[in-house]
Amino acid sequence: MFSTDGSRVEGTSSLSQSISPSMGELASEKHVQFIVSVEKKKDSFQSVVMEHIRMNGAYWGLTALDLLGKLHAVDVEEVVSWVLQCQHDSGGFGGNIGHDPHVLYTLSGVQVLALFDKLDVLDIEKVANYVAGLQNEDGSFSGDMWGEIDTRFSYIAISCLSLLHRLDKINVEKAVNYILSCKNHDGGFGCIPGAESHAGQIFCCVGALAITGSLHHIDKDLLGWWLCERQDNKTGGLNGRPEKLPDVCYSWWALSSLIMIDRVHWINKDKLIKFILDCQDIENGGISDRPDDAVDVYHTYFGVAGLSLLEYPGLKAIDPAYALPVDVIVRHLRYSDIRFGMQMTGPHKVVGSRQIGPLHPSLQATRALKSMPVSAQFLLQQQIRQTSVAAVEIRSIGGMSLHCQLSICTRATSSLG
Ligand SMILES: [Zn+2]
């Protein structure tokens, strides 16, 4: 099912094996054309509407292209140079050239550069200082100098600093406690303490807890129940709150959260795949919020990302916490990040003091995985699925402190036997 470069193999034969033909197919080529054309048509209605959030649009479009295996359809140097022109002296990024900096666009800027493996063009300290400077005394984060507070900004700061390897610049414990103060009795999370649960907000809070190795604070059954209740029986689509219409973007917000808390098997995946495919414009490309509505880059990205989470054939795998392709995360996360997760997780079993491996998915891997934080588990599981070989090493250094080393062996599957 996987090619050597980590992407799932394209082709109708693998498609017909796992997805019944009556469900329709993803019009990948059309979607690539749609995304590239939106980028080029700078005076179109959509471009005008997107003008002030162009950095977010770039992240949505380019990540969708990467998941579709077509990131090379754009000029890397042109994108990188534009991203850098959106950066301010403060270190933060604006939504476009000449626009004010905000943490929303700063994460998108970092994500776009990470996609192209170009984070080294940044003054990392400067960007990290901008983001860390937005943390408040109670652990929450403001979006910019005007001070609006929202758990979205907590996620953005944590994801961004983690990608930059600078989580040590903030008070992680306070940040986690603030997020937990926004947890509701229904198991979900809101934007501030006492605010109603919403799937988008839940993704942000669960994602931030996953990255910091703090998922043990979540009542997974309670939250899993609330999230799987979002699926509409008739259409198979997911909504963001009770009594709302289903919408393709919640295929990402709710589904990624269900994966992070290991309850994704509580929804009907085939029905959700059908709903997303029904929202495609198969003539001109693009995906809309609901069948027959107008398409846009935002829903095109979240539709493709949702299908990736559902393991739709021909798409790269996406990380549910970082919202970037898994190969990008593997490239950027280091030993120290995994260890950070371990320490935050609290009690864990020691698998052994010497290298275990090479591992086969059916053997020691499951045992080793159980002792790791979920974000690291996901990373490792993806690697195992893609290469069938991975080695986990948990080592005792200096008596009490434990280190977990994740090393990936890229040998071909066939050499394992
Ligand atoms: Zn939507």
What is the 48 CA–ligand 1 centroid distance (Å)?
19
**pLDDT tens-digit profile of 160-187?**
999 998 989 999 999 999 999 999 999 9
Interval 282-310 mean pLDDT: 95
Task: Say how far apart CA 13 and CA 1 lie, in whole Å.
Answer: 10
What is the 384 CA–ligand 1 centroid distance (Å)?
33
**pLDDT tens-digit profile of 3-27?**
333 333 333 333 333 444 345 799 9
Contact 110, 132 (CB under 8 A): no
What is the 85 CA–ligand 1 centroid distance (Å)?
29
CA angle 15, 20, 24 (to 5 degrees): 80
Using the 8-state DSSP alphabet, how is residue 310 labeled? T
**pLDDT tens-digit profile of 219-251?**
999 999 999 999 999 999 999 999 999 999 999
What is the 231 CA–ligand 1 centroid distance (Å)?
14
Q: Would you state the pLDDT for residue 341?
A: 32
What is the 129 CA–ligand 1 centroid distance (Å)?
32
Q: What's the one-letter identity of residue 177?
A: N
pLDDT at residue 387 is higher than 50: no
341 CB-contact burial (10 Å; exposed 0-12 / middle 13-18 / buried 19+): buried
Using the 8-state DSSP alphabet, how is residue 293 labeled? S
**pLDDT tens-digit profile of 191-207?**
999 999 999 999 999 99
Q: Which two tokens stand for residue 277?
A: 């495919």
Interval 247-262 mean pLDDT: 92
What is the 242 CA–ligand 1 centroid distance (Å)?
15
Residue 375 burial (CB count, 10 A)? 26
Q: Which residue has the higher pLDDT, 303 or 39?
A: 303
What is the 284 CA–ligand 1 centroid distance (Å)?
20
401-408: strand order across its sheet: 356-359, 390-397, 401-408
Confidence of residue 297 (pLDDT cuts 50, 70, 90): very high
CA 27 to chain centre: 22
pTM: 0.78
Using the 8-state DSSP alphabet, how is residue 332 labeled? H
Task: Say how far apart CA 415 and CA 284 lie, in whole Å.
Answer: 44
Q: Would you state the pLDDT for residue 406?
A: 39
Beta bridge partners of 396: 402
Q: Would you state the pLDDT for residue 153?
A: 98
Residue 187 burial (CB count, 10 A)? 19
What is the 215 CA–ligand 1 centroid distance (Å)?
26
What is the 291 CA–ligand 1 centroid distance (Å)?
12
238 CB-contact burial (10 Å; exposed 0-12 / middle 13-18 / buried 19+): buried
Give the start-to-end residue ranges of the domains of the chain: 334-415
Q: Which two tokens stand for residue 152?
A: 């979205």
Q: Would you state the pLDDT for residue 214?
A: 83
What is the 294 CA–ligand 1 centroid distance (Å)?
12
What is the 246 CA–ligand 1 centroid distance (Å)?
8
What is the 256 CA–ligand 1 centroid distance (Å)?
15
pLDDT at residue 64 is higher than 60: yes
Residue 281, CA distances (Å) to 28, 260, 308, 381, 410 in order: 11, 30, 18, 33, 38
Task: Say how far apart CA 407 and CA 358 lie, in whole Å.
Answer: 10
Q: Which two tokens stand for residue 248?
A: 């393709």
Of 146, 63, 71, the C-alpha closest to 112 is 63
Contact 227, 263 (CB under 8 A): yes
Beta bridge partners of 189: 183
